Amino acid sequence: MTDHRLPQERDLPAHRHALRKTHLMTLIDQQTATPPARRPRWPVLAALATAAAAALVIGLPIALDHGGTPANAVIREPDGSIKIYITDYKHPELIERRLRGFGVQADVTFLPAGKDCKEPRATYLPDNPALLTAEPPAEGEETYSRLHPEQIKPGQTFVYTLWYIEDGDDRMAIARPRVATGPVAPCEVIPGGPELRRDPHGGIGG
C-alpha cells in the first residue's frame, strides 16, 4: 500500500475527454507500432522503464467528475466480477480494504510519473490479460476497470500499481495488474515507470 502525493484532477472540455478516451485505448499498441506518416499532435506515453516494459500495462481513461459513484468505489457485479472506479488517486488502502471485503487479497500502489517500485517485490505469475480489463462505460457511467477475481487463487495477492500522469491539460492513468504468490514487500520508490513527453514539434514522443 503506497500513496505518493498525486495531483488533484482538473476538468477537461468534453471534446478533449473524447480524444483522451480514444487515445488511451491505443496507447500500448503505439509503443511497438510503426508511426503513421501524419502523426496526431497528442502527448503519449514515453518508453517505459525496464521493469514496467516487462509487464502488462493498461491505459485507463480519467473520470472528469465523481457523478453518482463514490470516489474510489469497488462494486461486485452479479457475474462475480468487480468494478473498480478510481477518481481520486490517493489512499490506496481504501481500495485494498474494499477488495478484501470481497475476498481478494490486494496490494495497491499509486505512483506519480517517472517513479516505480523497486523489483522484485514478490514472485509474480506470468502476465494474464484476463485478470483486469478496461471497458468503455455505459452512457452516463463513470470510467472503471473490471477485476476478474476467479483469476486469483487462494494464497495469491492482486498487486495493482497505478500511475496518474499529468502534463498541463493532458492527463492519463496507467495500470499494471499482476498476481503474486507468497508475501509482497512494500514499495520502495525509485526512478522509472511511465511518463509523458513531447517531441520537439509537439507531436508523438516515444
The region that residue 16 occupies, defined by phi over 0 for left and psi between -120 and 50 for alpha, beta otherwise, is alpha
Tens of pLDDT, residue by residue over 140-159, are: 777 889 999 999 999 999 99
Write down the pLDDT at residue 90: 86
pTM: 0.69
Sign of CA dihedral 97, 99, 104, 107: negative
Residue 68's pLDDT band (cuts 50, 70, 90): low
pLDDT at 48: 35
**Core vs surface per residue 154-172: b (16+ CB within 10 A) or e:** eebbbbbbbbbbbeeebbb
DSSP 46: -
Q: Is residue 206's pLDDT more than 50? A: no
Q: 95-136, pLDDT tens digit by residue?
A: 999 999 999 999 999 999 889 999 999 999 999 999 999 888
Q: Is residue 66 scored above 90 in pLDDT?
A: no
Contacts by residues 68-71 (CB-CB < 8 Å, ≥ 24 positions apart): 69/141, 69/142
Residue 23: half-sphere exposure toward Cβ, Cα within 13 Å: 20
Nearest 10 degrees: CA dihedral of 152, 96, 71, 86?
-50
Q: Which residue has the higher pLDDT, 202 or 39?
A: 202
In the predicted model, is pLDDT for residue 8 greater than 60? no
Which cell is 20 given? Answer: 483522451
